[in-house]
Amino acid sequence: MFPKVMVVLTTGLVRFTRCVDSKTARLLKPVLCKNLHRTVSTESAGVRVLYDGLCPICVTEIRFLQFLQKNRPGVVHFIDIAKPGYDEAKYKDVTYEMAMEEMHVIDEKDEVHRGVPAFAVMYGAVGLGWLGRFMMWSPVRPFMDKSYAIFAKNRLKWTGRGDECTTGRCEKKIN
């Protein structure tokens, strides 16, 4: 019985390592990787996260996600929309104003995701696919959508910036 277990474990390990190896994974059919829900670097290559670099809440989360992917550089590209060089043409025409309203993520297939689905794609790309799937789970999704809508509406006020930040560029208010 022990040799059978070893064969099964070894076969599974070989399949798993093939899915993780980026050069091999591109050549393999998705069937071999079907149980690895968006946590593999090849599935998430080219994910672009558009975030407000002047938002302390946003920056804290982005730094955590950058830490999670430190051993897999290039899996996710974090684009600070607050920098003067932000060019919407490079990012599927997501304007500064659109990106300030809610989270935008462009996946590896060049599809734009907004709001809670954007978080699900972003989390999946850095190895937290389980969290993204939980957020999108039908019993949880309405709560997540409502909570995020409240956050997105009040984010500027909560971080010491006003409504003028939704157009042009803005800085934190100094009282």
Chain-centre distance of CA 121, in angstroms? 5
112-114 β-sheet, strand order:
76-80, 47-51, 104-106, 112-114
Which residues lie closer than 8 Å to 140 by C-beta, 6 or more apart? 134
pLDDT tens for the chain, 175 residues long, are 444 444 444 444 344 434 444 333 343 334 334 333 443 333 334 899 999 999 999 999 999 999 998 877 778 999 999 999 899 999 999 999 999 999 999 999 999 999 999 999 999 999 999 999 999 999 999 999 999 999 999 998 888 887 566 555 565 444 4
pLDDT of residue 22: 39
pLDDT of residue 7: 42
pLDDT of residue 160: 83
